[in-house]
C-alpha cells in the first residue's frame, strides 16, 4: 500500500531541501533572482490557494502545494529545460518515498510543463502552478548583495513595490495586480521579459475556466476590448501569499 505523501513530509525531506538549496545557489552564480525557500514557499501556498478557491478537493489542493514546493529542483542540474529535468528528479524521489504513481504523474506533469518555453496547462495542478509561479515578481526576489541596475530582470523586479494575485469567482477572472515604480523600470521592460509568461498564464486560466487579467498601476494591460482600460476592483479574493 502506498503512503499518503503530505506537504510536511516533502518539506522535511533532506533530499528535496538539498536540491532546492543547490538550485538556488546555482542561479545565484548565474545572476538570476531568488529561487530559494521564499520563492518555493510562495508558489506552494499560492498554488494551493488557487485550487482551494476554485473548489478543488483537499488532495488536489495538497498536490498543488507539494508541486509548488519542488517545481524548481531541476535548476540543480541546468537552467535550460529545468522543468523537464525537475520532473524526472521528482519521480525518483517521490517513488522512493512511496507516493501513489497516479499522483506522481500529476506532479511530474505539472513540473515538466511550468516553463513558458515548452509548457502547457495539462491539469488543474499544472494550471494553478503556472499562474502562481509567474505571478512572483517583486523586489524581494532581487539579491541585494549583487543588485545590478544594468540588468533588466533586476530593474523590473526592484521596481515592483507590491503585487498580489486575486480571484473573482463571480466574474470568473484571475487577476495579477502589480504596482511599479516607473523611476526604476517601466511597463515596456516588464513586458519584454514577462510577456511569454503572461501568455502562458492566460492559457492556464482558460484551462481552469477563467480569464486572466494583468493589471499594472491600476491599468488592465491585456484587456481585449481596450488595451489600456482602467482597473475596477470587484469582489475578488486575494490568493497569493509571501
Grid cell locating 61: 489542493
CATH number for the domain harbouring residue 95: 1.10.3210.10
178 belongs to a structural domain: yes
233 belongs to a structural domain: yes
93 belongs to a structural domain: yes
233: pLDDT confidence band, cut at 50, 70 and 90?
confident
Model confidence pLDDT, tens digit, residues 2-30: 679 999 999 999 999 999 999 999 999 98
Model confidence pLDDT, tens digit, residues 171-218: 999 999 999 999 999 999 999 999 999 999 999 999 999 999 999 999
Grid cell locating 85: 529535468
Q: Above pLDDT 70, what percent of the chain?
A: 95
| Helix (H), strand (E) at residue 53 | helix 37-53
d(CA 94, CA 185): 41
1 belongs to a structural domain: no
Tell me the mean pLDDT in the region 75-102: 96
Instruction: Find out whether 170 and 235 touch, Cβ atoms under 8 Å.
Output: yes
Tally of structural domains, the chain:
1
Instruction: Find out whether 73 and 89 touch, Cβ atoms under 8 Å.
Output: yes
> How far is residue 189 CA from its own chain's centroid?
20
Grid cell locating 241: 501569499
Pairing of strands 211-216, 173-180: parallel
d(CA 94, CA 139): 33
DSSP letters of 1-25?
--B---HHHHHT-HHHHHHHHHHHH
Model confidence pLDDT, tens digit, residues 143-155: 877 788 888 989 9
Question: What confidence score (pLDDT) does residue 109 get?
Answer: 98
222: pLDDT confidence band, cut at 50, 70 and 90?
confident
141 belongs to a structural domain: yes
For cell 541585494, the residue is 144
| Sign, CA torsion 224/228/233/237 | positive
Model confidence pLDDT, tens digit, residues 53-77: 999 999 999 999 999 999 999 999 9
d(CA 70, CA 58): 19
d(CA 225, CA 99): 46
**What's the domain range around 190?**
7-238
132 belongs to a structural domain: yes
2 belongs to a structural domain: no
d(CA 53, CA 223): 24
Amino acid at each position: 500500500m502506498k503512503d499518503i505523501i503530505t506537504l510536511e513530509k516533502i518539506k522535511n525531506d533532506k533530499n528535496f531541501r538539498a536540491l532546492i538549496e543547490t538550485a538556488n545557489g546555482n542561479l545565484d552564480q548565474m545572476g538570476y533572482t531568488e529561487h530559494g525557500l521564499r520563492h518555493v514557499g510562495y508558489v506552494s501556498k499560492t498554488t494551493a490557494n488557487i485550487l482551494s478557491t476554485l473548489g478543488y478537493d483537499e488532495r488536489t489542493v495538497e498536490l498543488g502545494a507539494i508541486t509548488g514546493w519542488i517545481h524548481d529542483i531541476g535548476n540543480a542540474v541546468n537552467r535550460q529545460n529545468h522543468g523537464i529535468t525537475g520532473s524526472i528528479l521528482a519521480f525518483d524521489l517521490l517513488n522512493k518515498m512511496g507516493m501513489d504513481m497516479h499522483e506522481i504523474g500529476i506532479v511530474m506533469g505539472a513540473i515538466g510543463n511550468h516553463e513558458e518555453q515548452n509548457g502547457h496547462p495539462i491539469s488543474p495542478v499544472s494550471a494553478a502552478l503556472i499562474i502562481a509561479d509567474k505571478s512572483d515578481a517583486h523586489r524581494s526576489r532581487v539579491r541585494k548583495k549583487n543588485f545590478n541596475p544594468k540588468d533588466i530582470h533586476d530593474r523590473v523586479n526592484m521596481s515592483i513595490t507590491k503585487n498580489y494575485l486575486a480571484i473573482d469567482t463571480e466574474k470568473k477572472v484571475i487577476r495579477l495586480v502589480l504596482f511599479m515604480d516607473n523611476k526604476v523600470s517601466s511597463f515596456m521592460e516588464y513586458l519584454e521579459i514577462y510577456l511569454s509568461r503572461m501568455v502562458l498564464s492566460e492559457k492556464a486560466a482558460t484551462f481552469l475556466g477563467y480569464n486572466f487579467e494583468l493589471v499594472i498601476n491600476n491599468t488592465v494591460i491585456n484587456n481585449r476590448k481596450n488595451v489600456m482600460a482602467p482597473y475596477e476592483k470587484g469582489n475578488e479574493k486575494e490568493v497569493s501569499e509571501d
